[in-house]
Amino acid sequence: MSDEKYFQNITSRERAIFEGAITMGALFHQFVGTPVSLESAHSLENAIKISLELQPCIVRVDIEINRDFLKKTENRYQYLSLTGEMLDARVVSEYDGIKIAVRMKYIEDLEYPLMYVEEID
């Protein structure tokens, strides 16, 4: 059974953006709060990447946890809870030949981890 009837009211471009944006929201709301340390950052990046690439239309996920942030906020427990400020994420989705990249990264000027459409091909 096709899901096309559920998306007939939007363009292929809008569908590609929707799929990338919904995946970015999943990243933020599923993984923020996860315990992370310098030692576990790489494995957490891989887990996020692998799980998000399962989402419909997602062709690539690039994720980086800011190690400098982890180093400068070390504590006696040797881990922190993951926050949006630590993440630099890029999700590429493709639908019907339209490829888009959605990005989330901490923007110093805004003092906020902003999610935005970075590129549309």
Strand-pairing partners, residue 62, are: 90
Strand-pairing partners, residue 11, are: none
What dotted CATH number matches 11-120?
A: 3.30.1300.20
Tell me what pLDDT residue 59 has.
98
Q: Rounded to two decimals, what is the model's pTM? A: 0.91
Tell me what pLDDT residue 77 has.
85
With a cut of 90, say whether residue 2 has pLDDT above it: no
Domain borders along the chain are 11-120
DSSP states of 25-63: HHHHHHHTT-EE-TTTHHHHHHHHHHHHTTSTTEEEEEE
What's the whole-number average pLDDT of the chain? Answer: 94
Proportion of the chain above pLDDT 70, given as a percent: 99
Query: Half-sphere exposure of residue 37, counting CA atoms within 13 Å on the CB side?
Result: 8
**Dist CA 45 CA 49 (whole Å):** 6
pLDDT in tens, 20-71: 999 999 999 999 999 999 999 999 999 999 999 999 999 999 999 999 999 8
